[in-house]
Amino acid sequence: MSYLLEVKDLQVDLAIPAGTLNAVRKISFSVSRGETLALVGESGCGKSLTAMAIMNLLPRQARCQAAVLSFEGDDLRSFSQKQMADIRGRKMAMIFQEPMTSLNPCYTIGNQLEEAQLRHQKVSRQEARDRAVYLLEKVGITAAGSRLKQYPHQLSGGLRQRVMISMALMCAPALIIADEPTTALDVTIQAQILSLLASLQQEFNMGMIMITHDLGVVSRVADQVVVMYCGQIIESAPTRELFARPLHPYTQGLLACIPIPGRSKRGQHLGSIPGTVPTPVGRLQGCIFRNRCPLAVEACAEQTVNLQEIHARRSYRCLLSPDRAGYNWLEHDEYE
């Protein structure tokens, strides 16, 4: 089966004063056309660095290695900077979190949209402009023609994010990487933008990697979910299965932490995961989650824990068996 993007054993290390930070530790996943993969995790889990590694946009002090990093069959590791710059924007596009800082305030919207296409494809400026108008209308911006002459500061956050989305689509890419695309937006706009992304993905048959910390967003848009913790994939499953039956204690803990209207009793504690995320510097001993896991046993500190596969698209990284009894996260909440 040929995937749009295949990643195997991706590793990203950062040099910091205290040593080497193993920010991403040998993760593997794949995305097909028309599929949405969600990379979920809290801050510091390495999800944004993973996206940067795929696009080869890592900071200078980062080192990246992978067993397989192939896009549409080509090995990305062998690409020169020029070749990468070629596919970035044309075949692979990224939508960033902050619409305020991702658009250049000195140029008009039209200018930036046209440039996105003119850089990669040999079309005339008029053709680029027409495509810009077409895409702006597609993302729901009315009076697209006059919008082209506006500057980013004249638009609201939601509109700017729509412009970002159309900019990403100018060259009809095969893969879109959306890094927290709705975190900075108002909640009523969030659902609109996500629906827009989903329908465009369907229409253009693109693959999408959605990076987010919001499990609510994940449950509504993703086909496959990959949960990351401290640089490792600790669980991977199709969306329905993950939410119906999360296997890893961290996933269970995360789901118990979220306040859900109607579920949590007001005035009572929310479930919480005790402790804080460790800094991944140095050799890992045992399970990466063991210092916060209420189900940890002695073996968790001694053995290296590998991914256990349940079926082709479902795996989790824990020594405990999937049939063990559940844990009531609401009873135990010691915080450090």
Partner 1 sequence: MNSKKDFSSPFPAITFPTPGQMMWRRTTHHWGFLLGAGILVVILVVALLAPYLAPCDPYHQDLAHRLINPIWHADGTWSHPLGTDGLGRDYLSRLLYGARISLLIGFAAMSISAVIGASMGVAAGYFGGRVDVVVSFLITTRLALPVILVALAVVALVGGSLPMVITVLGLLIWDRFAVVMRSTTQQLRSADYIYAAKATGCSTMRIIFGELLPNILNNLIVVATLEMARAILLEAALSFLGMGVQPPLPSWGLMISEGKEFMFFTPWLIVIPGTVLFMLVLAINLLGDGIRDITAPEGRS
Partner 2 sequence: MNEALLEIKNIRKEYRISGGLFQRRRSLRAVNGVSFAVDKGSVLGLVGESGCGKSTLAKIMLGLETASEGKILLEGQDVSSLPCRQRTRRIQPVFQDPYASLNPRKSIQAIISLPLQVHKVGTTAEQNVQVEKIMDLMGLPRRVRYNYPNQLSGGQRQRVAIARALIMKPEIVICDEPTSALDVSVQSQILNLLIDLRRELGLTYILISHDLAVVEHLASRVAVMYLGRIVEEAPTEVLFKKPRHPYTTALLTSVLTPDPELRLPETHLGVAYPNPIEPPSGCTFHPRCPKVAERCKVESPQPVVNDGRMVECHFPNY
Judged by the rule CB under 8 A, the positions of this chain that interact with partner 1 are 17-19, 60, 274-275, 278-292, 294, 301, 331-332, 334, 336
Query: Would you say 48 or 232 has its CB closer to partner 1?
Result: 232
Q: CB–CB of 190/137 below 8 Å?
A: no
Q: Choosing among partner 1, partner 2, none, which partner's interface includes residue 298 (Cβ < 5 to 8 Å by kind)? A: none
Calculate helix-pair angle for 125-138, 109-118, nearest 10 degrees.
120
Query: Would you say 121 or 192 has its CB closer to partner 2?
Result: 192
Query: Would you say 24 or 174 has its CB closer to partner 2?
Result: 24
| Residue 198, burial from CB neighbour count under 10 angstroms (0-12, 13-18, 19+) | middle
CA distance 103 to 125: 20
Q: Choosing among partner 1, partner 2, none, which partner's interface includes residue 99 (Cβ < 5 to 8 Å by kind)? A: none
- DSSP, res 208: E
CB of 191 vs partner 2, minimal distance in Å:
5
Question: CA quadruple 129, 131, 137, 139: dihedral positive or negative?
Answer: negative
Question: CA quadruple 99, 104, 107, 110: dihedral positive or negative?
Answer: negative
- CA distances to 133, 182, 218, 252, 313 from 223, in Å: 31, 18, 9, 19, 11
CB of 63 vs partner 2, minimal distance in Å:
25
Record the tokens describing residue 112, joined without a space. Answer: 């930036």
CB of 294 vs partner 1, minimal distance in Å:
7
Q: Choosing among partner 2, partner 1, none, which partner's interface includes residue 188 (Cβ < 5 to 8 Å by kind)? A: partner 2
Closest CA to 69 of 82, 59, 79, 80: 79
Which residue among 68, 270, 284, 319 contacts partner 2 (CB under 8 A)?
270
CB of 296 vs partner 1, minimal distance in Å:
8
Question: CA quadruple 158, 160, 165, 170: dihedral positive or negative?
Answer: positive
CB of 20 vs partner 1, minimal distance in Å:
11
Which residue among 210, 218, 228, 318 contacts partner 2 (CB under 8 A)?
218
CB of 329 vs partner 1, minimal distance in Å:
12
Q: Is 158 in the site for partner 2 (CB under 8 A)?
A: yes
Q: Choosing among partner 2, partner 1, none, which partner's interface includes residue 332 (Cβ < 5 to 8 Å by kind)? A: partner 1
Q: Is 123 in the site for partner 2 (CB under 8 A)?
A: no
Query: Would you say 20 or 276 has its CB closer to partner 2?
Result: 276
Residues forming beta bridges with residue 15, ordered by sequence position: 20
Q: Is 194 in the site for partner 2 (CB under 8 A)?
A: yes
Q: Choosing among partner 2, partner 1, none, which partner's interface includes residue 218 (Cβ < 5 to 8 Å by kind)? A: partner 2
CB-side exposure of 264: number of CA atoms within 13 Å?
16
Dihedral, CA atoms, 204, 205, 207, 211, nearest 10 degrees?
50
Residues 7-46 that bind partner 2 (CB under 8 A): 42-43
3-state secondary structure of 47: helix
Q: Which residues bind partner 2 (CB under 8 A)?
A: 42-43, 140-142, 156-159, 186-188, 190-192, 194-195, 198, 213-221, 239-240, 242-244, 253-255, 257-262, 264, 266-273, 276-277, 333, 335-336
